[in-house]
Amino acid sequence: MNRDQIVEFIEDVYPAVDWEDIVLFDDIPEAFMGIAERFGMEPVAAYDYDKCIEIYMEDGGTYEDAVEHFGFNVIGTWAGDRTPVFLHLASQETDNDEATGDNEVNSEG
């Protein structure tokens, strides 16, 4: 998905929201998943965390370099209440756990 398609999606799904109010990251449009909503807050862009890392690795860096860059320059960016969210997908977490042998489940409760 490119930026124009993202904007069109936002305009179609949220006609009352000015898409320019939603913070979008231009260098990772392929990781855009949609819009997230929470009670009492404005909608925000939602991105696939693992896809973001893959995109940053395409520049030839290591996984660790991509995670560091992403953590500092993207997740570490506060753009107000419209700052995007980054999702760790359950199916990807399961796949990654199987690959690394890490099967511990983190539960609070």
Is residue 12 within a helix (H) or strand (E), and if so which, with residue range? Answer: helix 3-13
Q: What is the pLDDT of residue 98?
A: 52
Residues 6+ apart with CB under 8 A from 44: 22, 23, 35, 36, 81, 82, 83, 84, 85
Query: What is the pTM assigned to this prediction?
Result: 0.79
In this prediction, what percent of the chain has a pLDDT beyond 90? Answer: 64
- pLDDT tens digits, residue range 3-45? 999 999 999 988 888 888 899 999 999 999 999 999 999 899 9
Query: What are the boundaries of each domain within the chain?
Result: 3-100
Residue 92 has pLDDT above 80, yes or no: no
Residue 83 has pLDDT above 90, yes or no: yes
Tell me the pLDDT of the chain averaged across its residues. Answer: 85
N-term to C-term CA, the chain: 38
